[in-house]
Structures are given as C-alpha cells and as structure tokens.
A and B are shown apart, each in its own frame.
Chain A
Amino acid sequence: MIELHDIRKIYQLGGEEVHALDGVSLTIRDHEFVAIIGASGSGKSTLMNIIGCLDTADEGTYMIDGQEVSDLSERQQSILRNRKIGFIFQQFNLLPKLTAYENVELPLIYQGVSAHERRERVMEALEKVDLAHRVHHRPNQLSGGQQQRVAVARALVTRPTLILADEPTGNLDSHSTKDIMDLLKNLHAQGNTLVLITHDNEIAAQAPRRVRLFDGRIISDSRQDSDSSADGPEHLSDPDHTASADPLSGQTAASENQSEEQPQVSPGSRESSVDRNGGDAQ
C-alpha cells in the first residue's frame, strides 16, 4: 500500500522555481495496476522516483506499507528498494559490461542470496521473459526489446511486491511493446502492484486505473475495468481542492473497491478528451 500526501518537489532552475510536483496526494492499494499519464514535463518521472525511494520529496508525507519513508535511514531505503521494488526504465539501465545473466543476478547478490539459489532464480526469471537462450549476451548484443526483457527479469527476480515502470516501452517498436506489456500484465495478474508511467494512451488504456498529471498536479484519477469503455464525466473544479480530495478518494476507493471515475480538476478540456479517447480505443 502506497500513500502519498501533499507531495511537493521543487527544482531550482536558473533562479526560477520549477514545481515538478505541486501537492500530489495518491493512494495505491496492493495488487493495483495504475497507469500514470500526462504530457512531457508534467512530473510523472519525478513522482515515480519518489515512490521508488530514488528521490525524496521536499514536502508532504509518503508511507509505504504503513511505514513513513522519510523516517527510514538510507540503508533501510536501499533494502526497501532491493526487496520490495522492481524498477523498469525507459533506457533499460542494464550494466553494459555484465551479461544478461549477471545483470539479473545483481539484485540477488546485494540481497545476499546463496550462489545456488541465485542460479535457480536467475534462470527462472530469464525463462519467464523468454531469454533463456541469451543468458551470456551483453546488452549491446541484444535488441532493445530483449534488453528491456532482461530488465523485466531483473525487476522480478527479487519477487518484489511493487513494480515501477517508467515508460518501459518508450524506446520499443510495437511488437516488443506488446511483449513487454504482456509480461507486465502477467506480473500484475500474479499479484504484483504495478505502476506504469506512459504518455501513450493506448498503453494507458490497458490499466484499470489511470492517474493523469498536469503541471505537477493530479487532474484526474479514473478507475474502470480495462476492457470497459465507460468514461465518466470530467469537469473543472477548484484546483486547490485536488490535493485534499485525493486521499479521501483513495480511501473511498479502498472501501468500495469499485470501478469509478473520480471527477477531478482539468485545466483544459483537451486533457479530458485525450483520456476519453484512450478509454474508447480500448
């Protein structure tokens, strides 16, 4: 369970303040599949980095499984990243000098898993992503799709509860995109919480819940069955109300656990229509 409350992140850029996150409140329950969408620069990656404990918020509170993250030491945060979270990046972020096998093995080494068990689990993970035959290849000997599959194997080998994927298909062709999305959906089906960042509406439409960011704020949070094209009304409301409304909506969602569309702030109808179209496309 992930609970963000009034998270703010401000960058100083040439004396000017950039509010990358401007009061984000969001609750993600276990086993959820959430797509975070928004235009470039809307703060998606910043949000994911904070959720993944790669970065810290300037203001606000962030609880993961009931534990306040800012209370954790640096060491505890690395352990948390190592055990609970699996990262998948747009740039794959594999270590270029290590083979596919060694890349997948690395998080287990940091976990202190025995050599024997490592072998089994690495092979298991590589089989899951259908790369058992490319074990000793280096990243530069693999295609983009294969590299991303190695990254998926590396993310799942530790059996994390939370998978964070930042534009995992951003650098891939449509075929590899489908492979990766199938893998991710499969992970979700097996009980992982999945947070997927994308600006591709078609991909976002595959998620039962979509959170839309605009200028560092959540402007909509829609929940639906991924195969339904239901599209609730989205209308403008007081932007300042958003921050405080979100945790409430999260709680509502948690208690009712229903597919619903959360009416949210939308500074322009263009954003809403994009979302609608995405839903329709599904």
Chain B
Amino acid sequence: MKFSQAGKMAVAAVLSNKLRSFLTMLGIIIGVMAVTLLISLVQGATNTVTESLDDLGGDQLVVSVTNTSKRLTLGEVEALADLDGIDRVSPTLSGRGTARADGNSSDVSITGITASYDAVQGMSLASGRGITQTDVDYRLSICVIGPTVSKDLFGTNADAVGRTLRLSGRDYRIVGVLEEAQETMFGSSNTEIYLPFTNAQRLLSSVNVTNFYVSVSEDASTDDAETALDRAMMAKYGDDDSYSIVNLTDIMDTINDVMATMELLLGAIAGISLLVGGIGIMNIMLVSVTERTREIGIRKAIGAQRTDIIVQFMIESVILSLTGGLIGMVISQGVLTTINTLYPDYHFAITGGTASVALGFSFLVGVIFGIYPANKAAKLKPINALRYE
C-alpha cells in the first residue's frame, strides 16, 4: 500500500471524530504552547538584557571606589590609561539636580565627564558638539543635554544649542544635544546633562573620582586589562574592599549562562506537559484500536499486512501530535505578538530553532506514543479481530 493511501485513511479517521481528535490534541497544543512561549520569553528577556549591557559598552571595565577617606584624583585616574592593555580611562562624577530655563524646569541627572567619555562609552549627538579636553582643562560652564531635557526646557522642536540653562544658580551654555536613546533597564541618557568633569567637581562639591570606565586596548583581553587595573588599584588602596572592578563581559556571560539554564529548565518543565500530551494521544489511540478491532479484522481479512495497519495508525497519531504542535505554536505566536504590541520595548518571537525543536518533539511524541497502539492493532489475529463485538 502506498503511503499516500495510508495518509488518506488516517486523515479520514482523524476527521471522522473531530471533537475527540481535538481533545486528544489539546495536551500537545498546551505542551507546545508552553514550550514555545517559555523559551521565547526567556530568549527575548535575554536579548533585552544583553542589548542593555551592550549599550553600556560591552568591552569595558567599570571601577567604583568605595573608600571615601583615600582620594583618587583625576590625574591619578587618567594616569591609569598608561597601563598595559588599557586604552582609555573615562572618569565620571554623578549627581542629581534641577535644570531651569525660560521659566521651565527639568529634573536631571548630572554627570561630569572628560573628553574620553565619547571614546569609551559612546555619545551620539543630534546637534552641536561634545565635551572636549579644553572644556575640562578650563573648567568651562558648558553642557551637553539629553533630548528630554531639551524638550522640557525649550519645547519639542526648538534647537537648544547655543542657549543657556541654570543649574544650582550657575549658567551653562548648551553646546550639544544628544540623540534620542532607547530606554534600557538601566535608564537612558535622555534625561542626562553632561558637564566637563572639572566643572562638575565644583558644582557637586566633590573632588573625588567615584566611578570610572576603562576601555580595553584592541590587542589586549579584558581579563588582562582587569588584572593590570586591579594591581594598580591594589597598590593604591592596599585592600580590595576599597574598590570594585566590574567586568561587563563577565556579567554578560553570567547572565547568558543563567538565561540558558533557565531556558533549559523551563523547556524541560514544559516538555513534561508535552509528554503528558503524548500519553493522552496514546490513551486515545489505544481506545481507538479497541473500538476499531473489527475494522482491523476486516482490513486484515481482505489483505492488509501488518505494516499497512502499523503505518495507518502511526500516521494517525503523528497527524494528531503534529497538528496539535502547529496549533500550539500558532497560539503562542499570537500571545507573543500581543505582548509585543502592548509593550513595544520587547521583541518576543519564536525563533526557527525553537519552532523546529517544538515541532520535532511533537513529531517524536506522535511516533513514540503511536508505536505501541499501532503495533497492538497490527498484531491482532484476523479471526479474533473479526469476532470482536
């Protein structure tokens, strides 16, 4: 018998009892839905986190000084750039404040930076210029502002470059406006005001460098740079409780590891529901074999071979599981699309890999849980099957 004929028979059998077929598929539908949804959600979340970290700068080290009694001066920090493996050092000084102009005000975070900030962390300007070494050297009262600040103070379409704002009673000339940045889970530069580092020291009445970013030389590894940096900091502070060096690559690796483990774990849990779905299929197939004992007897009497019967029942169970898998996937794609529409910051999607795994598993479930009933049907002695009432 040809495969297509067996397929037709199986389709006819599945369609002849649509409600039961659907209920049989339900287990697989829910299983595949759970698998694809969970995996896609974890993958989407992983992507969002890594993108956020990437925006912060993937290949950099972040140093924060916790020891307040021993000062780390700007000069000392900038000297670290001479270390092996370190390309540039970008010290920052952070605080909060309220900017005012034209009778409007905007709550901002204030960050003092040096000229190397652009090279280390990146700064995309919509108009004007960034902060230069001269600005730092001469402690100039200029600033670069984020687009939200510009909007708050000067309205939507106004060009803020060249205008002035007030911060804690001082006037700052705006020399540049940043491009609109994506919100990340760590906030964004949209509400930021950047000042020359030296000027920020005065404004925030803080001379110490509390944080600095270090970019790694292209020819060096992040780990080597970290070691060199650690040695230098150790030489200054003598104990490693006074400072901490955070390697973003390490964090990213850790997050990726955690997420991969989570994906596997959730996938396995969801896989169990797929297994349960498979058992449901086997259950119904066994009922079906019993119900159709006479049919099997008739088929055998008129010449069906064992393989004909096996193929017929196997196709039936694979049709059930694969269709269930497809329906489950369509539903979870629908759920993901809904989430994406409601929360435009997320981009959840079922990847090709997830889809193949889910469908592959549905197929396997159909085969594995179909074998036993199909074999049971095929093994029936024609006479016993014919006599069955």
Contacts and interface: CB of A to CB of B under 8 A. Distances in A.
Interface of A: 49, 52, 54-55, 74-75, 78-79, 81-83, 87, 89, 93-95, 97, 106-107, 109-112, 154, 158
Nearest to A111: B303
19 contacts: A49-B383, A54-B301, A54-B382, A55-B383, A74-B305, A74-B306, A75-B305, A79-B303, A81-B300, A89-B386, A93-B294, A93-B386, A95-B295, A97-B12, A107-B302, A107-B303, A110-B303, A111-B303, A112-B1
A93 B1 CA distance: 21
Q: Which 9 A-B pairs have the closest CB atoms?
A: A82-B303, A55-B383, A107-B302, A54-B383, A110-B303, A54-B382, A78-B305, A93-B298, A109-B5
Given A54-B301, A54-B383, A54-B386, A109 B1 contact: yes
A81 B382 CA distance: 11
B299 interface: yes
Contacts of A154: 302
A110 B308 contact: yes
A20 to B, nearest CB: 12
Contacts of B2: 109, 112
Contacts, number: 65
Chain B, interface SS category: helix
Nearest to B302: A107
B157 interface: no
A110 B305 contact: yes
Contacts of A106: 299, 302
A154 B308 CA distance: 18
Contacts of A74: 305-306
Interface in B332-347: none
Contacts of A112: 1-2
A81 B301 contact: yes
B68 interface: no
B166 interface: no
A138 to B, nearest CB: 11
Contacts of A87: 301-302
A47 to B, nearest CB: 12
Given A78-B306, A112-B1, A55 B381 contact: yes
Given A93-B294, A111-B303, A158-B303, 10 more contacts: A52-B301, A54-B381, A55-B382, A78-B304, A78-B305, A83-B303, A87-B301, A87-B302, A93-B298, A110-B302
B16 interface: yes
B305 A79 contact: yes
Contacts of A49: 383
Contacts of B301: 52, 54, 81, 87, 93
